[in-house]
Structure 1
């Protein structure tokens, strides 16, 4: 995955968030250029956690 420095910062931040917070962030695609990227990163972290459980 090729991430910008800003996206790398978000990814690091999201790794410390709870599953509930990540679920909410993963569906938020509000106003702003970066909202879809942030939602995708939150979804990525959440899915990665779920894969580790299986």
Structure 2
């Protein structure tokens, strides 16, 4: 009975570690998505500002 209990305890510990790793991976991917979104918005804003800056030469 003692070995079975120890084995179950280690399996549960392993599952907890795997779940924690998955949670950390999800958090890292979410941070990456925020960085990508910020970069895209900044790029679009830069293009718009450049177009507005050049518009007075055409009109």
Q: How would you bin the TM-score normalised by the shorter chain?
A: 0.3 to 0.5
The structure that has the greater radius of gyration is: 2
- The TM-score normalised by the length of structure 1 is 0.40
